[in-house]
Structure 1
């Protein structure tokens, strides 16, 4: 399959364009920093069905999971959808044109009805402001009997980082589990299984923490701000009060969903 040309971010709302630009900039180093994201995504892998014909990786990023899906289901048609053109360009450069790379919004997907029998999405839909629209689109693009396997993030994710920088607004503004489940119900999809859990990852120092969270696009520094040595030292001191024998903790409140289109 050939790749699809990506459209510029200029036509997106400001918040979407900002997210797209942030992830596009992060694309070259994303894979090296995405250990937590990879570990969370692995929880979906054993649950996937044995067969699939048309697969969508929703929020595919640099294409790591898209390529793994293509390898696991070698007879399937695989598509990677992402908002960030830089991520898609990186994915195409790494994995070629056997996978279709498509720019688009999870809440307004550029696909026909009943296009996919399997949707995979790892830590992507937390960036979508309208969770009802996302679930409605999943119901639309899945075939009857199609399934979606999703991880997303719940409120409280990266709380230690927000505390360290004294910027609670830096926390991801994600819907809570009840809101997500209600959106699933409203869409007509069936929630066959769900799990909420807090996972902690540990890092040797503040620099390692800040590098790691770029994978989920958290913005903790004020735009164009130059931190003084005193501010940086104060942040490091605050984080050190949270240190454990394993290192500095960073919490991810994970929500795993298995959805099915039963009608």
Structure 2
């Protein structure tokens, strides 16, 4: 695994996220059905040509990184992730023709003007400082470079929040206006924005929770207590009231962004 700079030590939150995703790495792809489908929407925004240096920010097990390398065979592709376990899985699967870099999107370990295109599917909602992420993208993109991002907005996993009655246990995603403000202050120019609600269905509550926990998308909160059997039974019953013919619904409020660094 290559390194080019030393990132600041991770915060407790970053360390927790890295641990959760590292632990999930071996089974991530088998459970990431929703993430794959959502990512196809982002993939469709990519240009026919993309320059010589590309970044997959929050690359996970390398699924999209490898696809970027195949789509743009003459480009140098870097996959960056905060979770060492994810990068180890990616490197084992796809080898060293892709550069695998440990790092944090809020403090990217790259020089200014390093990339012609940055791609990031469902990663930046895990960052606490959205402004820092946008500033870093603006810094590492070359003039005229683009960032194609997919993130999540509040309202994501609303059915899960209803069932558990514990919204504090779910990831708190930034508001759309907060993201817009961060983009504006960074100097990046929005080219395309789209908000879309995507719904996926699962046979039962166990499958719902596997789809969340199994991809690392649940980080333990300090002093969080375990649910009692009575609370678990009540959660199942509440979720069942939402059942549709296809199964139990789980919604993601998806925000697609295409940004450009002015030339």
Normalised-by-shorter TM-score class: over 0.9
Residue 134 of structure 1 and its aligned partner are, at CA, apart by 0.4
Residue 235 of structure 1 and its aligned partner are, at CA, apart by 1.5
Q: Which runs of 5+ in 1 are unaligned?
A: none
Report the secondary structure of 2:47's partner residue. Answer: coil
Q: Using a 3 Å threshold, how does the CA distance of structure 1 residues 188 and 27 change in structure 2: closer, same or farther? A: same
Residue 149 of structure 1 and its aligned partner are, at CA, apart by 0.5
Q: Using a 3 Å threshold, how does the CA distance of structure 1 residues 107 and 219 change in structure 2: closer, same or farther? A: closer
Alignment deviations for residues 53-110 of structure 1 (CA, whole Å, 9 cap, x no partner):
1000000011000001011111110000000001001110111111000011101000
Residue 5 of structure 1 and its aligned partner are, at CA, apart by 5.7
**After superposition, where does 1:82-161 map in structure 2 within 5 Å?**
82-161=81-160
Query: Which residue of structure 1 lines up, in the alignment, with residue 39 of structure 2?
Result: 41
Contact 1:132 / 1:184 at 8 angstroms: preserved in 2? yes
Report the secondary structure of 1:185's partner residue. Answer: helix
Query: Which residue of structure 2 lines up, in the alignment, with residue 241 of structure 1?
Result: 241
Contact 2:4 / 2:110 at 8 angstroms: preserved in 1? no
CA RMSD of aligned residues (A): 2.2
Residue 219 of structure 1 and its aligned partner are, at CA, apart by 4.2
Query: Which residue of structure 1 lines up, in the alignment, with residue 253 of structure 2?
Result: 253
Residue 7 of structure 1 and its aligned partner are, at CA, apart by 11
Alignment deviations for residues 9-64 of structure 1 (CA, whole Å, 9 cap, x no partner):
99311111000000000000110010000011000122211112100000001100
Query: Which residue of structure 2 lines up, in the alignment, with residue 65 of structure 1?
Result: 64
Per the normalisation by structure 2, the TM-score is 0.93
Name the CA distance, whole Å, in 1 between partners of 2:8 and 2:237: 40
Name the CA distance, whole Å, in 2 between partners of 1:221 and 1:238: 23
Q: Using a 3 Å threshold, how does the CA distance of structure 1 residues 77 and 175 change in structure 2: closer, same or farther? A: same
Contact 1:153 / 1:252 at 8 angstroms: preserved in 2? yes
Q: Using a 3 Å threshold, how does the CA distance of structure 1 residues 113 and 29 change in structure 2: closer, same or farther? A: same
